[in-house]
Structure 1
Amino acid sequence: MKTAFITGAAQGIGLAIARQFAREGYQVGLFDVNAARCEELLSHPEFKHAVAGFCDVRDSASINEALSTFTQATGGQLHVLVNNAGVLSGGEIMTHSESQIRAMVDVNVTGLTMVSCAAHPLLKATEGAMVINLCSASSIHGIPLLAVYSATKFYVDGLTQALNLEWEDDDIYVTCIKPPVIDTEMGRSLDPRHIENMTWEMKPDAVATAVYGLTQRRALHHVLGSSTRTWHRVSRLFGMGVSRWFTQRIVG
């Protein structure tokens, strides 16, 4: 049985991804700071082969314990690591508190990096392993009213590109997925000015399907949503000036 370890799996996109992999016959690891919710999910028939527990991606001891708990059940195998855990605060950057800024950097940047590094020996020991990072359409161009969050996703994109090369000799394929605004609690927490101009184009299940699809069709990144793909193509073809103009029109 193949295995998938998912951070931030208690709800939203992470839970949808866990369900998708479980349906595909994977032994799933449901890990989150909300361990009680993850453990409750084990009573659902779809997660009869799952493992659940606590994982705070900001803490290396917590990460190592979670991976140990999971791989004790999988015989040391880790086929797919899904770095899904993320934090978002919307609004002007000058309205953010230090704790909000630190939370986004600590979870979206440092946490994702530490989980990846901690999982590396397990991935290397598993034939054909891969890492799928949850990136964002906001890594296409910096988004006003999402400045810090957007910057963290540029980091995720850059790390993905670098590790795709760096870990190639270890037979670990590293990729990321870039969804638009998703209809989740996080998506609905955007600044109201964004919500006026941007629609929730996609549900968590659609992201989960695309994430699983990357295990079948490997690509360095996968941009989701018709408007997001157009934005991405325009940005790549016409450069920063046009990308800036297009971004202004999208976010109002």
Structure 2
Amino acid sequence: MNNILITGAASGIGAATARLFHQQGWQVGLLDINPQALAELASELGNAWHAQLDVTDAAAVKVALANFCALQSGQLRLLFNSAGVLQCGHFEAIELSEHARILQINVQGTLNMTHAAFAYLKATPQAQVINMGSASGLYGVPHLASYSASKFAIRGLTEALELEWAKHDIRVGDLMPPFVSTPMLNNQRFQAPVLRRLGVKLEAEAVAQAAWLQAQRNHVHRPISLQFQFLYWSGQLTPSWLTRRIMAWLGRE
């Protein structure tokens, strides 16, 4: 039986992915810091396994993984590191503690989960890790500086582990969507100019579909949406100075 453990599962991309994989017959494990929304989703999915979790708490992460995988014969087919936060705004206007929180959740949380999951992934044929990357990990986005930094880190981690863990039959990849219509993004008080110019054209369900495709065929990076796929592949050939000028225009106030 295939199984998937999802962080940030109570809303947005995590919840959409949980619904899709549950519909496809997978055993779904749900992790989130919001207990009420988590319980509601678990009930919707036939009392799916769930646990409240702060992914920055390394000790709690180990306990959650052990509890879920104990019910799965010690195996984990797919870990989806979906938990993440962002805050739009001028870098200097955002409290340093908030920048640190973004990095703690987006980067340290992913490290905690992936490190603790290794033994269970190694014990599972064709195991995978899917990390929640972003178009913001391709080139630094103005007014999302620390978020971009976190997604650059995820991109590097993904590339390194895909090479390092190949000998263990563990595939590692990330999803790279542009802006997605989720409560996290829609509730931002500051609207970054890049958001106005590019728009928010993706729904969480489209990213969930990409996660499903990734589970069938791993790519190190999976850019999502035709718009960003064009930017991604052209960016592999475009000189860095030109990319910088494009981002400067998109972020101009």
| Same fold? TM cut 0.5 | yes
The separation in 2 between residues aligned to 1:190 and 1:21, in whole angstroms, is 33
Q: Which moved more, 1:216-225 or 1:82-91?
A: 216-225
Secondary structure of 1:186's counterpart equals helix
Amino acid at match of 1:31: L
The separation in 1 between residues aligned to 2:139 and 2:56, in whole angstroms, is 26
The separation in 2 between residues aligned to 1:200 and 1:207, in whole angstroms, is 13
Contact kept in structure 2, 1:78 and 1:122, CA below 8 Å = yes
Q: 1:191 matched to which residue of 2? A: 190
Gaps of 5+ in 2: none
The separation in 2 between residues aligned to 1:232 and 1:173, in whole angstroms, is 22
TM-score of the two chains, using structure 1 as the length reference: 0.95
Distance 1:118 1:58, change over 3 A: same
Q: 1:202 matched to which residue of 2? A: 202
Secondary structure of 1:164's counterpart equals helix
**Aligned-pair CA distance for 1:249:** 3.5
**Aligned-pair CA distance for 1:139:** 0.8
- 1:13-36 per-position Cα deviation (integer Å, ceiling 9, x unaligned): 110011111111110011001123
Amino acid at match of 1:182: V
**1:99-138 correspondence to structure 2 within 5 Å:** 99-138=97-136
**Aligned-pair CA distance for 1:49:** 6.4
Q: Would you say 1:92 and 2:90 are equivalent positions?
A: yes
**Aligned-pair CA distance for 1:190:** 6.9
**1:51-200 correspondence to structure 2 within 5 Å:** 51-188=49-186, 189=188, 191-194=190-193, 195-200=195-200
Amino acid at match of 2:23: R
The separation in 1 between residues aligned to 2:183 and 2:197, in whole angstroms, is 18
Amino acid at match of 1:86: G
Amino acid at match of 2:100: R
Q: Which moved more, 1:192-201 or 1:61-70?
A: 192-201
**Aligned-pair CA distance for 1:69:** 2.0
**Aligned-pair CA distance for 1:39:** 2.1
- 1:31-77 per-position Cα deviation (integer Å, ceiling 9, x unaligned): 00112321222222xx2262101111100111012112211222212
Contact kept in structure 1, 2:143 and 2:251, CA below 8 Å = no
Q: Which moved more, 1:197-206 or 1:67-76?
A: 67-76
- Percent identical pairs in the alignment equals 36
**Aligned-pair CA distance for 1:232:** 1.5
Amino acid at match of 1:132: I
Secondary structure of 2:180's counterpart equals coil
Amino acid at match of 1:8: G
Q: Which moved more, 1:86-95 or 1:67-76?
A: 67-76
Amino acid at match of 2:180: I
**Alpha carbon RMSD of aligned pairs, Å?**
1.4
Gaps of 5+ in 1: none
Q: Would you say 1:20 and 2:13 are equivalent positions?
A: no
Q: 2:221 matched to which residue of 1? A: 221
Contact kept in structure 2, 1:84 and 1:133, CA below 8 Å = yes
Contact kept in structure 1, 2:15 and 2:41, CA below 8 Å = no
Contact kept in structure 2, 1:133 and 1:177, CA below 8 Å = yes
Amino acid at match of 1:141: Y
Q: Would you say 1:38 and 2:67 are equivalent positions?
A: no
Amino acid at match of 1:250: L
The separation in 1 between residues aligned to 2:192 and 2:126, in whole angstroms, is 43
The separation in 2 between residues aligned to 1:35 and 1:240, in whole angstroms, is 44
Secondary structure of 1:53's counterpart equals strand
Q: Which moved more, 1:90-99 or 1:201-210?
A: 90-99
Q: Which moved more, 1:117-126 or 1:194-203?
A: 194-203
> Number of aligned pairs?
250
Secondary structure of 1:74's counterpart equals coil
